[in-house]
Amino acid sequence: MAKMEVKTSLLDNMIGVGDMVLLEPLNEETFINNLKKRFDHGEIYTYIGSVVISVNPYRSLPIYSPEKVEEYRNRNFYELSPHIFALSDEAYRSL
């Protein structure tokens, strides 16, 4: 029996897609599934371009420390995983 060749994408191993602009195909089902997949893996922030979507985890997360603020300070918006601190830093640097 011949082996089937399966092509994979670089995005296949990601926890969902961090920026919905990169989601293909982009429709209601893939949008919701991507948010759910990210949420299920503790990723509550997702970008849509320069907009940040946040899904309330209804629990405390260790992602709001002063160290986390410094991690996102003066970094490229897409360099790290989506976070409200990235958006805040981008807005501050744009003043």
pLDDT tens digits, one per residue of 39-89: 999 999 999 999 999 999 999 999 999 999 999 999 999 999 999 999 999
**Is 10 domain-assigned?**
no
At 5, the pLDDT band (50, 70, 90 cuts) reads low
Give me the pLDDT at residue 4, please.
52
pLDDT at position 23 over 80: yes
Element (H, E) at 53: strand 51-54
**Is 50 domain-assigned?**
yes
Give me the pLDDT at residue 73, please.
97
**Is 33 domain-assigned?**
yes
**Is 9 domain-assigned?**
no
At 15, the pLDDT band (50, 70, 90 cuts) reads confident
State the total domains in the chain. 1
**Is 47 domain-assigned?**
yes
Q: Structural domain of residue 57, as residue ranges? A: 16-93
Which residues are CB-neighbours of 35 under 8 A, at least 6 positions away?
16, 46, 53, 55
Taking the whole predicted model, whether its pTM rises above 0.85 is answered as no
Determine phi and psi for 19, rounding to 5 degrees. Answer: -130, 115
**Is 79 domain-assigned?**
yes
